[in-house]
Structure 1
Amino acid sequence: MDIMAEEDIYTKDGKVTIRGDPADKTKTGNWKACRFILGNEGCEMLAFYGMGANLVNYLKIRLNQGSVAASNNVTNWSGTCYITPLIGAFLADSYLGRYWTIAIFLVVYVLGMTLLTLSASVPGLKPSCENDKCHPSTSQTAACFVALYLIALGVGGIKPCVSSFGADQFDETDEAERKKKSSFFTWFYLSINIGALIASSVLVWIQMNVGWGWGFGIPAVAVAIAMVFFLSGTRLYRIQKPGGSPLRRIAQVIVASFRKMNVEVPADKTHLHETADAECTIKGSRKLEHTDELQFFDKAAVEIPTDNIRGNPDPWCLCTVTQVEELKSIVRLLPVWASGIVFSMVYSQMSTMFVIQGNTLDQHMGPHFKIPSASLSLFNTLSGIFWAPVYDRVIVPYARKYTGRERGFSQLQRMGIGLVISIFSMVVAGVLEVIRLAIVKRNNYYDLEYIPMTIFWQVPQYFLVGCAEVFTFVGQLEFFYDQAPDAIRSLCSALSLTTVALGNYLSTLLVTIVTKVTTQNGKLGWIPDNLNRGHLDYFYWLLAILSLINFLVFLWIAKWYTYKKAIGVAH
């Protein structure tokens, strides 16, 4: 009994402390470690949104770019922020581990934010302006974009690792801790929104009314505080050991499968190759049960005499069932991943078209205070802050009674609900634009800078996008963590983040195509610099239709998805 009790104090999923010792459940992990991770994420998101939420206006005002150019530059940069996580994830899973990846890339992040602040505040680096017109030089524009893409690199090491690192603080083999892990993703999202709330309200106001130097300097300080938060919890963290290059293991399965293209897979799958002991050969990972889908890859685990010609199996000829299932898990995730791209394209409108639309509306609150159009994103944030705890504390317990599931809804159901809500957000945005253009036409306001219509009519579309986020993005975070094999969780988290990148790039492509197609024969097009003479509502209808098609495809994908099953213990 004493031996069992001593064994039970350690996690059974292969986690260790920063010193490499087995992780003690009573001294490490759980919520006592997560408070540092949540604090880090809140400050980091304050910086990210504080700099990114109003970036389209900075490019228009200080770098003298048009609406389409500024919008596309923002979506391209934002897209890059969600592509670079593939670099951070690969380093984390293969060599560094999540802890050291986060720590190193936080330093890069601080350097990027510092350079951006200098480019907006130091004479010579910042563009010269007179009579509300700025004249940036090529070198000044270059300094700004170098800083932005240095930030994108820093973000790349943090985004794929922080949510997974937080979830690592809970032992999946312990039922009580597993339930807490499910709640962690909701509270993780809440911390993101608290940071974003301050960014979209206070920081955006500072940028538009005090100055861009202060507006970017405060986010730079916030990133430094985020680094202090993260490092302060070091002794409490449970750390997943890196399992070696996942790309190498995946390549081995593919090569072995094609080498054995003519080999028949036995009907009895217990004859497929796997290690005899309970531990997996992949460091830090548990074994995976065989699944019947994608049987072509099972050929890699069929043992033939030539596999052991030198005494030990050639990993490019013979792979374990777990290694094969690791590849299958990624392939099964890809259709779900693809369904998130259109949602991310809708989400990207908050920092582009919503802001540009808001620029045409009356931004006054009383006779002396003017709210920047980018600050309306705080209603998206408030929506997230409202719905995150409501979902966790009200909706889940209520749904649990009817579904019998521990989480109330499955992760795929949760994502599907968010996709439906996102359709309505585009419909509402389109309806507002129809009303706005009707006022313009009725009163001949075509050349009026601000339409006498309060900007707060945009609140419903921001609120709906925030609600959709709580369901889709949080569900996606948890889904990709749960369905990823232990040794490639950072990579799969990065994969989920690339939907945001591709959504931004797709938005850029769509805006470019729409602009080119609709501006032929001397027409101004749907999205001219003067929106009063355009048809932004048509663009919103297009997004709503694409979102509906995407949801119908998602329903078919979800119906056929097979969940992974982990067995054994990690080492």
Structure 2
Amino acid sequence: MEKDATYAKDGTVDYHGNPSNKKETGTWKACPYILGTECCERLAYYGMSSNLVLYFKHRLNQHNASAANNVSNWGGTCYITPLIGAFLADAYLGRYWTIACFSSIYLIGMTLLTLSASVSGLKPTCYAKDKCQATDTQSTVCFIALYQIALGAGGIQPCVSSYGADQFDDADDSEKKSKSSFFNWFYFSINIGALLSFSLLVWIQDNVGFGWGFGISAVAMAIAVLSFFSGTRLYRNQKPGGSPLTRICQVVVASFRKYKVIVPADKSLLYETANAESNIKGSRKLDHTNDLRLVSQLPT
């Protein structure tokens, strides 16, 4: 009983790979680092992206239609890449390493974008205010940085909120109640980052320069990375469970091969693992149900 009260029951482990000690890891001890990461990442993202159309138009000398189209394509990519990040996190890397790797890619992209807007030779040549000309190389560097940011965002966006939820054990009633409070603070952090971006950083880009605006966003992303790594010793980590596509294919094949099998009314007669946990790391056993039955039972 004492051991059950000491360790989390949801299968999470600490950064050493040992069962999570509830007194030393997770809950509100770990969440401030995750909330700080999200707030700074959103500040960096919105601060960089809110004025991209104007940057393409006035600095890269693109027409309105081309600038809007390029921003739309980039924004669409930012919404597609989370599919990659979510798959890698659940199947192979786990949420911690997915956030760690992709946030580093994100920071490199933000740094490169800042250099492309401020360093001589990389930034477009301006002859007057809002009248600039960019070479093909300068435009290429800018777009490489932007799509590197899109890739980095794809590893952070689908994982941060779930990683925060991992810090609370659903088997513990007090921690389960605290999880809802975490999500309130999580969305509050997003809104704080967005508020600072749309007010302060947009003003800086319009009145001081894009180099300064992108630079502050890059610094905010650096703080996000630092905040995330600072909480490493306190995090609870779910083990990745392997590719879900493989398991889906196994279910489909088994369904076709055994569609004539009569399902016994007593579930204890079914062939399955005897213990309460799933054999798939990071997953739980599913309760039996008839709701998804597709083929009627055939008489022998």
Q: TM-score range by the shorter chain?
A: over 0.9
Query: 2:54 maps to what in 1?
Result: 57
More helix by share: 1
Structure 1 CA distance, aligned partners of 2:166 and 2:89? 13
Query: 2:191 maps to what in 1?
Result: 193
Paired residues of 1:105 and 1:155 also in contact (CA < 8 A)? yes
Q: Which runs of 5+ in 2 are unaligned?
A: none
Query: 1:44 maps to what in 2?
Result: 41
Structure 2 CA distance, aligned partners of 1:273 and 1:73? 54
In the alignment, structure 1 residue 116 sits paired with structure 2 residue 113? yes
Paired residues of 2:10 and 2:170 also in contact (CA < 8 A)? yes
Matches within 5 A, 1:330-409: none
Paired residues of 1:269 and 1:290 also in contact (CA < 8 A)? no
Give the 3-state SS of the residue equivalent to 2:88 in structure 1: helix
Please state how far the C-alpha of 1:42 moved relative to its aligned partner: 0.8
Query: Which 4+ stretches in 1 moved above 4 angstroms?
Result: none
Paired residues of 2:10 and 2:171 also in contact (CA < 8 A)? yes
Query: 2:227 maps to what in 1?
Result: 229
Paired residues of 1:13 and 1:285 also in contact (CA < 8 A)? no
Structure 2 CA distance, aligned partners of 1:16 and 1:179? 21
Structure 2 CA distance, aligned partners of 1:213 and 1:109? 17
In the alignment, structure 1 residue 129 sits paired with structure 2 residue 126? yes
Please state how far the C-alpha of 1:61 moved relative to its aligned partner: 1.5
Matches within 5 A, 1:414-493: none
Structure 2 CA distance, aligned partners of 1:297 and 1:28? 47
Query: 1:146 maps to what in 2?
Result: 144
In the alignment, structure 1 residue 101 sits paired with structure 2 residue 98? yes
Structure 2 CA distance, aligned partners of 1:102 and 1:241? 14
Matches within 5 A, 1:2-21: 4-21=1-18
**CA distance 1:57–1:100, change in 2 (3 Å):** same
Query: 1:91 maps to what in 2?
Result: 88
Paired residues of 1:254 and 1:297 also in contact (CA < 8 A)? no
Structure 1 CA distance, aligned partners of 2:249 and 2:266? 22
Structure 2 CA distance, aligned partners of 1:58 and 1:33? 38
Query: 1:251 maps to what in 2?
Result: 249
Give the 3-state SS of the residue equivalent to 1:123 in structure 2: coil
Structure 2 CA distance, aligned partners of 1:297 and 1:63? 60
Cα offsets for 1:168-220 (capped at 9, x unmatched): 00001112211111221121111011111111111111111111111101111
Q: What amino acid is aligned across from residue 198 of structure 2 in structure 1?
A: S
Give the 3-state SS of the residue equivalent to 2:158 in structure 1: helix
Give the 3-state SS of the residue equivalent to 2:126 in structure 1: strand
Paired residues of 2:13 and 2:20 also in contact (CA < 8 A)? yes
Paired residues of 1:42 and 1:194 also in contact (CA < 8 A)? yes
Structure 2 CA distance, aligned partners of 1:138 and 1:105? 28
Please state how far the C-alpha of 1:101 moved relative to its aligned partner: 1.2
Of residues 157, 164, 167, the one that matches 2:165 is 167
Of residues 17, 21, 25, the one that matches 1:24 is 21
**CA distance 1:110–1:199, change in 2 (3 Å):** same
Please state how far the C-alpha of 1:265 moved relative to its aligned partner: 5.1
Please state how far the C-alpha of 1:11 moved relative to its aligned partner: 0.8
Please state how far the C-alpha of 1:267 moved relative to its aligned partner: 6.2
Under a length normalisation based on structure 1, what TM-score does the superposition of the two structures give?
0.50
Query: 1:294 maps to what in 2?
Result: 292
**CA distance 1:30–1:214, change in 2 (3 Å):** same
Please state how far the C-alpha of 1:31 moved relative to its aligned partner: 1.0
RMSD: 1.9
**CA distance 1:26–1:65, change in 2 (3 Å):** same
**CA distance 1:274–1:142, change in 2 (3 Å):** same
Query: 2:217 maps to what in 1?
Result: 219
Query: 1:426 maps to what in 2?
Result: none
Cα offsets for 1:123-152 (capped at 9, x unmatched): 221112223322222222111111000011
Please state how far the C-alpha of 1:222 moved relative to its aligned partner: 1.0
Structure 2 CA distance, aligned partners of 1:149 and 1:298? 50
Under a length normalisation based on structure 2, what TM-score does the superposition of the two structures give?
0.93
Give the 3-state SS of the residue equivalent to 1:160 in structure 2: coil
Query: 2:202 maps to what in 1?
Result: 204
Structure 2 CA distance, aligned partners of 1:17 and 1:77? 36
Number of aligned positions between the proteins: 295
Cα offsets for 1:447-468 (capped at 9, x unmatched): xxxxxxxxxxxxxxxxxxxxxx
Matches within 5 A, 1:66-77: 66-77=63-74
Q: What amino acid is aligned across from residue 220 of structure 2 in structure 1?
A: A
Structure 2 CA distance, aligned partners of 1:58 and 1:129? 12
Structure 1 CA distance, aligned partners of 2:111 and 2:24? 37
Please state how far the C-alpha of 1:161 moved relative to its aligned partner: 1.1
Identity %: 65
Please state how far the C-alpha of 1:21 moved relative to its aligned partner: 1.3
Structure 1 CA distance, aligned partners of 2:152 and 2:102? 5
Q: What amino acid is aligned across from residue 265 of structure 2 in structure 1?
A: D
**CA distance 1:294–1:239, change in 2 (3 Å):** same
